[in-house]
């Protein structure tokens, strides 16, 4: 039987960031990750960091490479009716966002954890959580055929949407809210410079598109696609051809194409599980909530949950106060729901919905027209995009 203070399940951004912040506060953790380190590092996901997330990565002592290689973005562009409009985050809010891939964030946090010798068990299989509603919770896992139990004070469920933590909570103690959207995003990663210095969101009659990036030499492009479509239906040439159809002529002229180094389809979903706590088990990140990626909020929400949760653990261990842990669900969920609202709204105004009527289309056009013409509306978008305070 091993012992630690906080057993963390999942070595995604939430688990790794929590582990590092707790380590720096002198709190012992063991992270259990079901996949190998290489597998976790090969996953291509988010890429836009709010200032709050950047600050936390700094606090975790893992920001050196991000500061060197990350791209600071002052604004973004939205294209509609063949015209591009710019939303100037810096002018409207005094804040910016940082483009730095989730894979890189994960690698930096893994390196920081290894440098201080804090334990992570990769390929920890069949993780189960026991006695979470008592003062003596424990976690069990299997590795190389051997079972190990970890006694702990608390369990942090940072194991994503399909993890075991949320599933451990009895049905009567959990309430879930969900919206599944009638489309997905087909994404391509390519080693070519992006077509613009900033992200370009496109609302086109053939569907949504996004021109994003991971660095000055690596671009990420997305197309709205049907839920019944498969990667085999989308050879690279077809992807580029369809993207060109959805872009304005200047963007097409600047688009540099090449062989995809990664291609994937992600369905879009909004999901929240309340109350993010069961006794001494606390959920953080995708384990508790999912947003459609349109507002670039998934990774950032994982970071804000971890900010609340890490401070609450520090309060317990340094001042013997449960106040932070008791109020964690309320504080985290207040921010989660605002990000859910923003991500839903961005999805609503930028995608073509198959069931949409003529009336819906007119409302969407009016919404965008209002946004492009109103500083107040642009400020609302900018304030949410750069991230609400926590």
Ligand X SMILES: Cc1cc2nc3c(=O)[nH]c(=O)nc-3n(C[C@H](O)[C@H](O)[C@H](O)COP(=O)(O)OP(=O)(O)OC[C@H]3O[C@@H](n4cnc5c(N)ncnc54)[C@H](O)[C@@H]3O)c2cc1C
- Catalytic annotation, pick one of 137, 292, 293, 329: 293
- Catalytic annotation, pick one of 100, 141, 181, 201: 201
How far apart are the C-alpha atoms of 316 and 319, rounded to whole Å? 6
Q: How far is the CB of 168 from ligand X (least distance, A)?
A: 10
Q: How far is the CB of 161 from ligand X (least distance, A)?
A: 7
How far apart are the C-alpha atoms of 106 and 110, rounded to whole Å? 6
Residue 184 engages ligand X in binding (rule: CB under 6 A): no
Report the residue from 127, 209, 211, 276 that binds ligand X according to the rule CB under 6 A: 127
By beta-carbon proximity to ligand X, the closer residue of 126 and 250 is 126
- The region of 162-170, 192-200, 268-276, 376-384 touching ligand X under the rule CB under 6 A is 162-170
By beta-carbon proximity to ligand X, the closer residue of 147 and 360 is 147
Report the residue from 6, 7, 8, 14 that binds ligand X according to the rule CB under 6 A: 14
- Catalytic annotation, pick one of 23, 73, 204, 351: 73
Residue 76 engages ligand X in binding (rule: CB under 6 A): no
Residue 10 engages ligand X in binding (rule: CB under 6 A): yes
Are 381 and 373 in contact, with CB atoms under 8 Å apart? no
For residues 271-284, one letter each, b for 16 or more C-beta atoms within 10 angstroms of the residue's C-beta and e for the rest, the string is bbbbbbbbebbbbb
Are 108 and 57 in contact, with CB atoms under 8 Å apart? yes
Q: How far is the CB of 224 from ligand X (least distance, A)?
A: 14
Helix, strand, coil % (nearest 5) of the chain? 40, 30, 30
Residue 38: burial class (beta carbons within 10 Å; 0-12, 13-18, 19+): exposed
By beta-carbon proximity to ligand X, the closer residue of 180 and 322 is 180
Nearest in space to 2 (alpha carbons), one of 139, 115, 142, 126 = 139
Give all strands of the β-sheet with 138-143 in edge-to-edge order.
Answer: 2-3, 146-151, 138-143, 125-130
How far apart are the C-alpha atoms of 236 and 238, rounded to whole Å? 5
Residue 92 engages ligand X in binding (rule: CB under 6 A): no
- What part of residues 264-323 is at the interface with ligand X (CB under 6 A)? 264, 266, 285-286, 293, 296-299, 302
Report the residue from 30, 97, 164, 199 that binds ligand X according to the rule CB under 6 A: 164
Backbone angles phi, psi at 387, to 5 degrees: 110, 130
By beta-carbon proximity to ligand X, the closer residue of 43 and 319 is 43
How far apart are the C-alpha atoms of 323 and 290, rounded to whole Å? 27
Q: How far is the CB of 209 from ligand X (least distance, A)?
A: 14
Are 73 and 89 in contact, with CB atoms under 8 Å apart? yes
Q: How far is the CB of 304 from ligand X (least distance, A)?
A: 11
Q: How far is the CB of 306 from ligand X (least distance, A)?
A: 9
Q: How far is the CB of 115 from ligand X (least distance, A)?
A: 20
Q: For the residues of 189-242, what is the DSSP string, one character each? A: EESS--SSSS-EEEEETTEEEEEEESSSS-EEEEEEE-TT--GGG--HHHHHHH
Report the residue from 6, 7, 8, 9 that binds ligand X according to the rule CB under 6 A: 9
**Is 297 considered catalytic here?**
yes
How far apart are the C-alpha atoms of 285 and 210, rounded to whole Å? 24
List, in sequence order, every residue forming a beta bridge with 190; answer none if it has no partner.
219, 260
Which positions from 17 to 56 touch ligand X by CB under 6 A, shown as an x/- string? ---------------xxxx----x----xx----------
Q: How far is the CB of 100 from ligand X (least distance, A)?
A: 12
**Is 201 considered catalytic here?**
yes
Those residues with Cβ within 8 angstroms of residue 182's Cβ, 6 or more apart along the chain or in another chain: 227, 353, 354, 355
Are 77 and 196 in contact, with CB atoms under 8 Å apart? yes
By beta-carbon proximity to ligand X, the closer residue of 95 and 140 is 140
Report the residue from 50, 108, 159, 198 that binds ligand X according to the rule CB under 6 A: 159
List, in sequence order, every residue forming a beta bridge with 274; answer none if it has no partner.
175
Residue 102 engages ligand X in binding (rule: CB under 6 A): yes
List active site positions: 73, 201, 293, 297, 385
What does the binding site for ligand X look like in residue numbers (CB under 6 A)? 9-15, 32-35, 40, 45-46, 102, 124, 127, 158-160, 162-164, 264, 266, 285-286, 293, 296-299, 302
């Amino acid at each position: 039987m091993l012992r630690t203070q906080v057993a963390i399940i999942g070595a995604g951004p939430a688990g790794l960031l929590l582990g590092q912040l707790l380590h720096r506060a002198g709190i012992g953790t063991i992270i259990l990750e079901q996949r190998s380190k290489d597998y976790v590092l090969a996953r291509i996901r988010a890429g836009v960091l709010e200032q709050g997330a950047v600050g936390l990565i700094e606090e975790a002592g893992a920001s050196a490479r991000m500061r060197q290689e990350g791209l600071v973005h002052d604004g973004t562009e939205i294209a509609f009716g063949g015209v591009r409009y710019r939303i100037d985050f810096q002018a409207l809010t005094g804040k910016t966002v940082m483009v730095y891939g989730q894979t890189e964030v994960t690698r930096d946090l893994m390196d920081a954890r290894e440098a201080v010798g804090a334990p992570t068990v990769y390929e920890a299989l069949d993780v189960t959580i026991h006695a979470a509603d008592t003062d003596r919770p424990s976690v069990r896992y299997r590795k190389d055929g051997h079972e190990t139990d970890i006694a702990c004070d608390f369990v942090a469920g940072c194991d994503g949407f399909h993890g075991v933590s949320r599933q451990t909570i009895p049905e009567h103690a959990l309430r879930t809210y969900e919206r599944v959207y009638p489309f997905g995003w087909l994404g391509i990663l390519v080693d070519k410079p992006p077509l613009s210095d900033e992200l370009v969101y496109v609302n086109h009659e053939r569907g949504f598109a996004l021109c994003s990036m991971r660095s000055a030499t690596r671009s990420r492009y997305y197309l709205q696609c049907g839920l019944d479509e498969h990667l085999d239906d989308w050879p690279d040439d077809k992807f580029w051809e369809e993207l060109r159809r959805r872009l304005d002529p200047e963007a097409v002229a600047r688009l540099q194409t090449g062989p995809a180094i990664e291609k994937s389809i992600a369905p879009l979903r909004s999901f929240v599980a309340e109350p993010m706590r069961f006794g001494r088990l606390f959920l953080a990140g995708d384990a508790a909530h999912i947003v459609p990626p349109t507002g670039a909020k998934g990774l950032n929400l994982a970071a804000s949950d971890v900010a609340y949760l890490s401070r609450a653990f520090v309060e317990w261990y340094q001042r013997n106060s449960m106040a932070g842990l008791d109020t964690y669900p309320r504080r985290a969920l207040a921010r989660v729901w605002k990000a859910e609202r923003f991500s839903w709204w961005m999805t609503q105004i930028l995608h073509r919905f198959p069931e949409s009527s003529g009336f819906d289309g007119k409302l969407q056009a009016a919404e965008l027209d209002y946004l492009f013409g109103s500083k107040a509306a642009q400020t609302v978008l900018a304030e949410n995009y750069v991230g609400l305070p926590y």
